[in-house]
Structure formats: C-alpha cells, structure tokens
Structure 1
Amino acid sequence: MLPTQVRCVQLINLQTAESVANTCDDQSINSPSLSMWPLQQRQLVREMSNIDISYIWPEQLNPDSFSSDDTVTQKKQVSLGLSVPVYVAEGSERQLRYALSISSDLPMQTNRTRGSLTGSTVVIDYKGTILASPDPNRVGGNISDGPDAERLKSIIRNAQEGKKDFAHIFSFEEIDVSKNSSNNPLREFIDEFKKILPELLGLKLSADNEFLVGYVATSSPVERDDDKKWIVLAITPIDFALSGLREVQKVLIILIFCLVAASVIATIYLARDLARPLEKLRDYALAVNDLDSPNKVPRSIQIREFNQLAIALESMVYRLKRWADQLEVTSKEAQVANQLKSEFLANISHELRTPLNGIIGSIQLIYDGFCDTKEEEMEFLKQANDSAIHLLGIINDILDIRKIDSETLSIYLKDVDIGKLLQETIDLFRKDIEQKSLLLNLNIPEQVIIVNADQEKLKQVFENVIGNAIKFTEKGSINIYIIQEDNNYIVAENTNNLSDNYGNKERRVLVKIEDTGIGISPEQQDKLFQPFVMVDGTKTRKFGGNGLGLAISRGLMEMMNGSIHLYSEGVDRGTTVDIMMPIKAKQAVKTEVQLNSQIGSRE
C-alpha cells in the first residue's frame, strides 16, 4: 500500500533531462532515464511495474526544532520517489517524452502523551534498515548497530511470520523528543523537578530507557516480493504507557496512609482494651501468692480468649489450693504415721521383750537347777514354749503386714466350709471365754456354706477378730452369726424369711461378731485398720497386742475378694465386726434348690 501524503511534483523531459515543471524547490526527486521504460507504447498501460519507486533519505533533523508539547508531529521523514513515464501520441504510436515524479512522505506521527500506547512510529525494512524513527540519527542505520539488537531481530522475525504482538526493549531512542529545548530557565527547572519528583516519592514506574513495542508487518511499496515486508513498530516509553497506573498508585498510597493511620488509632484503642484485662489478671496472679487470699479472678472480660485465660488461671489456683490441702493432709498423715511407728516400736519392743524374758527366765531357772521336781521343770519348759509360740506369732504378724504392703504374700484359694472353720476357731478360744465368764451366743446354720478362700488365712482373720472381742470384753457377751446375703436382702438360715429374688445374682455370706466390750469412739474407728494403730493406750495398753491384727485381717480379706468392717456406737458401747465373703456359685444354686424344696414340702 503506497503512502498518500504527496510533498511535491516534478515533470522532467527525458530527452533533455531538464525540469519542465517542479514544485520541489529545485530539488531533484530522482534521476529517471529513457532506459527505464519502453520508448513506444500503443496503449495506456496501468500496471504497477511501470512505476519506479526509490528512497529519498531526509536531511538530519535538528532536535532544537521540536516542539515542547507532549505531541510532536514530524513532517520530515523518509520519502519515496515515484516516477511514471509520460507518452505523447504521434500518429498511431505513443512516444516516451517525459517522466512524472512525485515525492511522498511516510506519514510519521509521534504521540508522546502520557497514557498513550501509540508513542513513536518506527519503520524497518526486511533487512533491518531503519526507514523511519523519532531519532533522526538512526534513520538509514541498521538495527544491528544499535542497542538491544537481538531483541529487535526477534521482533522482526515474529512480525515476518505474521505475528502481531508487543515486546519489552531497552535503549532504542537516544534522545527524548518530548524534551523542552527552550531557553526558558524556569521551564527547564520545572521539567527537571518533574523528572526528579517521581523518584523522590517512589512514583517512578520504570527506567527512562525501557520501552514497550507493538509490532506488525505490512507489504513493502518498494519491493515486489511479498516476503520482503516492512515492519512497523509503535514505540512508547514504559513510563508513558504505565502513566495511567500513576493515579492508581497515588490512590493506593493515600489508602495506605489512611490504613496506617487507622491502624495506629485502632492499635491505641485495642492496646488499652488489651492492657486493662491483662493488668487485672496480673494483679490477681500477684495477689494469689497467698492461696487463702479472698481475691476473685476477674470475669466478664469482653475478649473471649482472656475469659478463657481467667478461667484457666482460676482452675490452676483451685488445683494449687487442692494440692496444698492434700500436701498438708499428707504431711499430717506422715507425722501421725511417724508417731504411730514410734509408738509401735515402743509397744512391739515391750511385746517382744515380755515373751523373751519369759523364755530366758524359765530356761535360766532350769539351767541353774532351781527346780525341785521333774514336774516343776516341765512347768517351766511349758511356760518357755508358750512364750516362744507367742513370740513367733508376733514375728509372723510383722512379716505378714510387710508382705501385704509389698503385695508378695501368697494365698492358696480352695473350697472352704466357712461354718466349720468358724466353729474350729471358736473352740480355740472357749477356755479364754470361760475364764472371763463371758456369754457366747452362736448362730451358725447347719447347712454347709462353701466359700473360695485360703483356709489358714481366713482362720487367721477369725482368730484376730474373735481374740480382740474376748480381749476387750471384761463382762457381758459375745454374739457370732453367719448370715447369707442375696444382694440387698439378708436371709438368716435358721428362719423362713427368704429373699424374693435369686436368679443369677451374686450371693454372699456375712459373719457378724458382736461384743459388749470397751467399744471405740467414732473418730478412732477409721484408724484401726491402719498398721501399727492402737486405740489410746490409757484404756487399751493394759490389754496388750501389737496393733497389726485388724490391718492384717483387712489385707487378707481383700486378697480373698472379701471385706471386713468395724462399727461401734462409742466408748463402752461394744463393737461389731462384719466379715463378708462371696458364696461359691454352684453352692449358691444348690442352696436355692434345697431351700425351695423345703418350702414346697411344708406347703
């Protein structure tokens, strides 16, 4: 597509090479000759091949001639000289006489308005020769000789392949055609200040030597080959292209300042709201150095996390108080235990010394020959034997309580007739009961009740409890019962009061031992099952004992899946001890069948 901007016209006589008519100020557009076209033509030829096209390179541009406006229109650019033959009719032939030439400028316009993407137009031919440029020094040069040549070559290749795109290049223009070149010092100062201000404020979007290039290929008016195209570039500084973002940037900066100011104000208020509850929590934490302080943890804090912190702090203080109370109780218990051990050592020393003295005294009398008869000698030997047996019992009790505490005591469970075992134990103490003139009331059913227990250990429990009942009862009676318990219903085997429910529920047997002895105060009852504990010595020390019997009994009963409990209404009100064991399952079913059959026969 040929340019349409005609600068001047020239008509030349080809035979004389003289200018017949010229509007180009005596400047020759080109030098046409007769050899360029056929000398004769029979008819008018309208083919493009008759047009001779050549480049007319412009004079060097003077930068001082540019306007100071942002938009600069350049009238003087690379021109094209177009020449066509003029034939004169002579008879039937048309003879070549003249050449009509015109000079047509490329319509080059440089738009340096900020925000415009048009920028400056640059035309490059297929060889890389710059045909038009806002920098007149580069017109006619090759892109290989300038900066950023590789990037420009890549643009030309892409354009020749038919691509239309944009690219980023560096240092294409060597002068700024929008620069004010006037001699006005004030204007120059303003321009310099405008140039420096963006850098001071951080508003400069890019460097001065960076450009945005849009490119497209167009047909060359000079070359006949379609592959030899011109590349038209629209070059604008990136700072100009992105100047539209400057307002956005200013708005963002204003917003940032507003946000910073709002953040500062919000921080001041939030800091106050955050500091106040923290100060309250701090004061509370400092005040609770004394766990008995009446201060309460602050509540109703607007911030949920601080409320949670207050609750956690209160919970921690509560746990500390509880642990402190537990430590205090434990400390008192340790002191009591230490005192009890001291008393126990004193008592056990007396208990050990008494049989030892008896053994030593009896043997010494025999050894010294103070026995007059054989019978007297045998009596002393019997006393020594009894003292040795008593001493062995004390030592066994000490060993048993140690094994129970360390869980190393061995038991051997088997079927035991609890009624028979209880009767055997009572027989061992009949002589002691008769000596103290105590009344013994027994209620042992004839029916066999089988429990799963260690016979020797269960007998030891009976001996400890019955022995205590006899020892602490000066007058009155001792009552011993065996009662079957079915869940919450007690069934005495010597009555007809049967439970309504048997089913598969566990059945137990209760051995109840009651005495009318010295009794125990309620505050002392919980201590009796602890090792080394004895009731106040003013009343019980005269009865002797080592204080291990009930502690051993409780340990043995727990090992046999049973239990033992003690109750007394007070001093001189007697004592009741309950020993409970589970009845063996098969025996429980057998008993139920027998009882039901008895009921049926009576009906």
Structure 2
Amino acid sequence: MDKPRQSSFRRILVTRILLLFVPVLLLGEVVALNKARSSLLSTARQNLTESAVQKGEKIVNAIATLKTSLLIASQTAVLRSGSPSQMQDFINQLAPQLPNYVKCIQLINLQDNSITASSCGDKAIAESKLAFASKDGIEIKKILPPKVGTTGQRNLENQIQLVLSAPVYSQNGQLTYALSIESSLYKQTSTGPGSLTGSTLVITEDGTILAHPLSERVGTNIQQDPDAKGLQKILKNAMTGQSNSLNLSFKQGEELVAGYSVIANPIAQKPQQWIVL
C-alpha cells in the first residue's frame, strides 16, 4: 500500500513543479527573444542612419563632379570655334570619359534650338533658352521622372534623373550653344539572402519626392503618401539637422525602418535642403 502512495505523491510533486517552472521558462524565452529583437532593431537603425548620411554625401559629390565636368567641357576650344563635325567627334570622345551615371550629352544651337552634337540620338533632352543666370553658370534644366525606354517599360533602376546645362560662348564672347547632360544619380543594388535590404528615398524641403522605391510616387508630394504623417515627421526632424531613424509604412501591413539625413540641395540657386532616407 505504501508504494502506490509514494508514486502518486511523486507524480503530484513533479506536476506542481512543472506547473510552477514551465511558465517561468517560457517567460524567460519571451524576454530573451524581445531583447534579441530590440538589439537587432537598434543595430539596423544605426546602420540605416549611417547609410543615409553616406548616400547623401555620394549624391552631393556626384552632382559636384557633374558640374565640374560640364563646366570644363563647355569651355573647350572645339566647342567654341569648331565645325559641327569636330563638335560631334568631341562629344563622342567625351561621353565614355564621363561618370557612368551620365546617360547623354548634347550640344544645342541656341539660335534655332537644333541639336548640333549628341551622344544619344536626335531627341532633345532639355529645352534651351538664350539666357543663363551667369556667364559661367551651370543650370538645372529639369528633374526627370523614371524614364520610359524604347521597350515602353519604366526604368526602375535609375531614380534620380537630372538634366544640367552650361553656356558655351564663341571666341568673341557671343552665347551660341548650351551643353547639356542627362544623368541618373542613383542605381538600386540587389542584396544577398539574409542581408539588410534598403532603398533610397529623396525628398525636397517642400515635400516633393525625387526618388522613391515605388516609381509612381516620384514627382508627387509626401502629402499624397499613405504614411504622410511619418514622412512629415522625418522632414521636420531632418530640417533641424538631425540624422536618425523612424518607422514607416508604404503599404498596409508592412512596417519599414528608415534612417534619414539632410544635405544642402546641390542644384538650387538659393539655400535649400534635401532629405535622404
């Protein structure tokens, strides 16, 4: 009679011990998982913020390189006094030497708005006019949306497309040509399995979207974005010079983490800013 009692007592004791410790163990697992998630999220936020700062610097440097290259090319003797065939030869030689984000370079005759030389065919990449802000000034003609190629498909890789123009003067100082280049400053890169996937988003201080992971949003204002409040908060924080991170959502049920930074608008005549995410 003693053995069954001892066995029953042991079962009860083990059961009570399990009922006491299993919830504690499960709670410990949850706490550990939350700590791990918090640590990973903190690391991701820091990395994304640093990435936004670096991306902003790359954009500034890329546009500075474009301006310098364009200004030097516009002052070469062959463009100031050469024949059309010589100018075309010069453009053909110049195009491969420019950064790989330059897609086209054209020389426009300002007297009749015709294309004198081009590296990308006979379709003008920008409207030209007879006056520039300054004699040696670089002018931003336009910011282009994602381009439609010959296949009719949107070019989703290149998201910040600019056309810059510089005046070309003849040997006697007469304004005769405009030298224009079309460039694509940002190209998305694929990432390997398990790595942090990121896309670039660029916003002007008035809320205009210059680059966005969803190409149809390029050219719109953040007021039209589903997560307008989140983007407005980023815009407000960034305008004070902050570099930080914030949660966003472009689609219902999808949560994103964005690191952001601010740069001086590299194409504005007056002091303005761009926010890079």
Give the TM interval when normalised to the shorter protein. 0.5 to 0.7
Give the 3 Å change call, closer, same or farther, for CA 113–156 of structure 1 in structure 2: farther
Quote how far apart the aligned CAs of 1:35 are. 2.5
- SS of corresponding position for 1:158: helix
Q: Distance in 1 between matches of 2:194 and 2:243?
A: 21
Q: Determine if the alignment matches structure 1 residue 231 to structure 2 residue 231.
A: no
The amino acid of 2:104's aligned partner reads: C
Q: 1:385-464 to 2 correspondence within 5 Å?
A: none
Runs of 4+ aligned residues of structure 1 deviating over 6 Å after TM superposition are none
Q: Distance in 2 between matches of 1:18 and 1:215?
A: 42
Q: Distance in 2 between matches of 1:79 and 1:229?
A: 18
Is there any run of 5+ residues in structure 1 with no aligned partner, and where? 67-72, 175-206, 234-603
For residue 124 of structure 2, what is the aligned residue in structure 1?
28
What count of residue pairs does the alignment treat as equivalent?
178
Quote how far apart the aligned CAs of 1:173 are. 5.4
Q: 1:271-290 to 2 correspondence within 5 Å?
A: none
What is the aligned counterpart of 1:128 among 207, 232, 236?
Answer: 207
For residue 14 of structure 1, what is the aligned residue in structure 2?
110
Q: 1:337-416 to 2 correspondence within 5 Å?
A: none
What is the aligned counterpart of 1:214 among 247, 259, 263?
Answer: 259
Q: Distance in 2 between matches of 1:13 and 1:168?
A: 50
Give the 3 Å change call, closer, same or farther, for CA 89–124 of structure 1 in structure 2: same
Contact 1:75 1:108 in 2 (8 A): yes
Q: Distance in 2 between matches of 1:100 and 1:122?
A: 29
Give the 3 Å change call, closer, same or farther, for CA 231–150 of structure 1 in structure 2: same
1:154-199 Cα distance to aligned partner (Å, 9 max, x none)? 01111111111111112x159xxxxxxxxxxxxxxxxxxxxxxxxx
Give the 3 Å change call, closer, same or farther, for CA 173–219 of structure 1 in structure 2: farther
- SS of corresponding position for 2:123: coil
Higher gyration radius (CA): 1
Contact 2:226 2:251 in 1 (8 A): no
Quote how far apart the aligned CAs of 1:117 are. 3.5
Q: Distance in 1 between matches of 2:105 and 2:165?
A: 10
Q: Determine if the alignment matches structure 1 residue 80 to structure 2 residue 162.
A: yes
Quote how far apart the aligned CAs of 1:59 are. 3.2
What is the aligned counterpart of 1:108 among 187, 194, 219?
Answer: 187
- SS of corresponding position for 1:217: strand
The amino acid of 2:229's aligned partner reads: E
For residue 589 of structure 1, what is the aligned residue in structure 2?
none
TM-score, normalised relative to structure 2: 0.58
The amino acid of 2:260's aligned partner reads: Y
Contact 2:160 2:186 in 1 (8 A): no
- SS of corresponding position for 1:134: coil
Is there any run of 5+ residues in structure 2 with no aligned partner, and where? 1-59, 67-100
For residue 51 of structure 1, what is the aligned residue in structure 2?
138
The amino acid of 1:158's aligned partner reads: N
Give the 3 Å change call, closer, same or farther, for CA 129–112 of structure 1 in structure 2: farther
TM-score, normalised relative to structure 1: 0.28
Quote how far apart the aligned CAs of 1:126 are. 0.9
Structure with the greater relative contact order (CA < 8 A, sep ≥ 6): 1 or 2? 2
Q: Distance in 2 between matches of 1:111 and 1:213?
A: 18
Quote how far apart the aligned CAs of 1:151 are. 1.0
Give the 3 Å change call, closer, same or farther, for CA 151–114 of structure 1 in structure 2: farther
For residue 221 of structure 2, what is the aligned residue in structure 1?
142
Give the 3 Å change call, closer, same or farther, for CA 113–168 of structure 1 in structure 2: farther
Q: Distance in 1 between matches of 2:269 and 2:132?
A: 17
Q: Distance in 1 between matches of 2:238 and 2:193?
A: 26
Contact 1:29 1:56 in 2 (8 A): no
The amino acid of 1:105's aligned partner reads: S
Give the 3 Å change call, closer, same or farther, for CA 21–76 of structure 1 in structure 2: same
Q: Distance in 1 between matches of 2:247 and 2:267?
A: 29
Q: Distance in 1 between matches of 2:264 and 2:197?
A: 21
Q: Distance in 1 between matches of 2:196 and 2:119?
A: 37
1:476-525 Cα distance to aligned partner (Å, 9 max, x none)? xxxxxxxxxxxxxxxxxxxxxxxxxxxxxxxxxxxxxxxxxxxxxxxxxx
Quote how far apart the aligned CAs of 1:210 are. 0.8
Quote how far apart the aligned CAs of 1:74 are. 4.4
Q: Distance in 1 between matches of 2:148 and 2:212?
A: 12
Quote how far apart the aligned CAs of 1:152 are. 0.9
1:332-369 Cα distance to aligned partner (Å, 9 max, x none)? xxxxxxxxxxxxxxxxxxxxxxxxxxxxxxxxxxxxxx
Contact 1:56 1:80 in 2 (8 A): yes
- SS of corresponding position for 1:99: strand
Aligned-CA RMSD value: 2.7
Give the 3 Å change call, closer, same or farther, for CA 216–223 of structure 1 in structure 2: same
Q: Distance in 1 between matches of 2:198 and 2:128?
A: 37
The amino acid of 1:149's aligned partner reads: A
The amino acid of 2:146's aligned partner reads: P
Quote how far apart the aligned CAs of 1:116 are. 3.4
The amino acid of 1:151's aligned partner reads: G
- SS of corresponding position for 1:120: coil
- Identity percentage over the alignment? 40
Give the 3 Å change call, closer, same or farther, for CA 173–223 of structure 1 in structure 2: farther
Contact 1:8 1:104 in 2 (8 A): yes
Quote how far apart the aligned CAs of 1:114 are. 4.5
Q: Distance in 1 between matches of 2:127 and 2:153?
A: 31
Give the 3 Å change call, closer, same or farther, for CA 32–219 of structure 1 in structure 2: same
1:280-338 Cα distance to aligned partner (Å, 9 max, x none)? xxxxxxxxxxxxxxxxxxxxxxxxxxxxxxxxxxxxxxxxxxxxxxxxxxxxxxxxxxx
